[in-house]
Structure 1
């Protein structure tokens, strides 16, 4: 069940891409009406136009369809429509030519966004953490979605003081299995090329075992137009990663394989979500896309 929020009066959705070819998958952004949610909508609109993709604004509410006092509509639906209408207006002002759709769906936000991710090429979410030690004891929506999404998830923080100027995009390799480095490298390289930015590649694994991602000449062969530099950050901590990378227009890394105590993300990822003030892209590990379990998980259950 879903309901599409009407576009603001006097406007029409922008036309779709020209031609008879199939429409590319959308960029999906979660809208909750908050300041950080609207920041994510703006980022997603700019990214959608870079990808020549439509933007799909999704708001999930668990009580959609429930009745209020004396059979009146529950208050969630008007609030949800207001949130998506506000997000639509911001996206339209950000990129007037963008094709935009809005949708209010029933259910918990995490499940609704994971379902939307299946037909998307990218999911964008806002996060309001401030670095306090007691934050994210219970996993946020952004953390849960990034830890389970079959598509890359970009998390846009509440604030990003100062501009990034001409600073590069950043790819962090080595935060997962070796096979997880390639999808991070591909995602980061393509993002940097779309944005016409250089790329800084941080190598956090001391021994890359001859992997192609550790060889700068192989990068040049694969992406001849990419301006890439490589820096080693062995024994990475959150502070070392941020010191080497930020501020940046986008920090890309593997989403990892989860932490202890059934936490959805590794400790380093959770720390970065609390403290990083730049947008972060979490690229799903290979096993999540292919269905092949990683080695550590097989050992853990066997």
Structure 2
């Protein structure tokens, strides 16, 4: 099902968003729409119907493909209504109900998108360390950058802080994350914080290490500063626990970007912990 077709002769980048009818999914739709408005892009709303998912209890009553598809179309209709209310023209909205496992569908379609936005359902206790399977799987397998957002942790509209942070290592430098952070800050007309966290256990040579790390990151940032001279940027080397430090940073920025090395089949525990506890949307980009 397609809600509308793109304007004839105009090719815009697409922001892919997964819609599942949940509050987190709707939050993702709103976020994707604002990104599209800011970047002259299309929103590509997809609801995946997983026929292979176990169906028990009351769901036995709606197990047929036709009923599941109709339910998906209702979810799409709600999502497209939200997009229209936010002011994105109908010709810049594409919406589909697709048969397949959500993480697989989004992973495949991400190859045709500039950005993928997914909602993360907020859980409690130990479950929070194993954030929603769809968002995690899509984040590690997507062929484009991913933004994970939760309606519970970020109920308000983001952007008011006018600051983007990108967390990077000094070697190898998370170059893709750094480049995305600069572009995103330029698009938002926001300030950029380039953050590197050094464990406090580094000892008496900590000050020298911090100075060397700062100089190295400034060198990496220099060509990007030249390319985006109107975007203010600063390098921060923090001492402390990496997860706790980045969660602290997330309280003061509109978006926190992390680099993920492409050879990892799963997200590392530190990245998963930051996603689970962050106070802002988290962007993930695969490093080469």
Query: Normalising by structure 2, what TM-score?
Result: 0.81
Give deviations 1:34-84, integer Å, cap 9, x for gaps: 0010000000001012221111101111229xxx98x97542111111111
| Shift of residue 248, structure 1, vs aligned partner | 1.7
Q: What is the match of residue 167 of structure 2? A: 172
- Structure with more of its chain in strand, by fraction: 2
| Shift of residue 149, structure 1, vs aligned partner | 1.0
**Residue 243 (str. 1) matches residue 248 (str. 2):** yes
1:271 aligned residue (263, 270, 273): 273
Q: How does 1:92-111 map to 2 (within 5 A)?
A: 92-97=84-89, 99-111=92-104
Q: What is the match of residue 205 of structure 2? A: none
Unaligned runs of 5+ in 2: 53-59, 199-208
Which deviates the most, 151-160 or 123-132? 123-132
Q: Distance in 1 between matches of 2:40 and 2:139?
A: 23
1:58 aligned residue (37, 41, 46): 46
Unaligned runs of 5+ in 1: 8-12, 287-302
Distance 1:72 1:275, change over 3 A: closer
Q: Does structure 2 conserve the Cα–Cα contact (< 8 Å) formed by 1:25 and 1:121?
A: yes
Q: What is the match of residue 142 of structure 2? A: 149
Give deviations 1:247-291, integer Å, cap 9, x for gaps: 3211111124577xx6x10011110111112011101111xxxxx
Tell me, what secondary structure is at the counterpart of 1:255?
A: strand
Q: Distance in 1 between matches of 2:213 and 2:234?
A: 17
Which deviates the most, 38-47 or 138-147? 138-147
Distance 1:79 1:217, change over 3 A: same
Q: Distance in 2 between matches of 1:172 and 1:267?
A: 15
Q: Does structure 2 conserve the Cα–Cα contact (< 8 Å) formed by 1:146 and 1:255?
A: no
Q: How many residues align?
A: 265
Q: Does structure 2 conserve the Cα–Cα contact (< 8 Å) formed by 1:169 and 1:200?
A: yes
Q: Does structure 1 conserve the Cα–Cα contact (< 8 Å) formed by 2:161 and 2:252?
A: no
Distance 1:239 1:138, change over 3 A: closer
Q: CA RMSD in A?
A: 2.9
| Shift of residue 145, structure 1, vs aligned partner | 0.6
Q: Distance in 2 between matches of 1:244 and 1:265?
A: 20
Query: Normalising by structure 1, what TM-score?
Result: 0.78
Tell me, what secondary structure is at the counterpart of 1:75?
A: helix
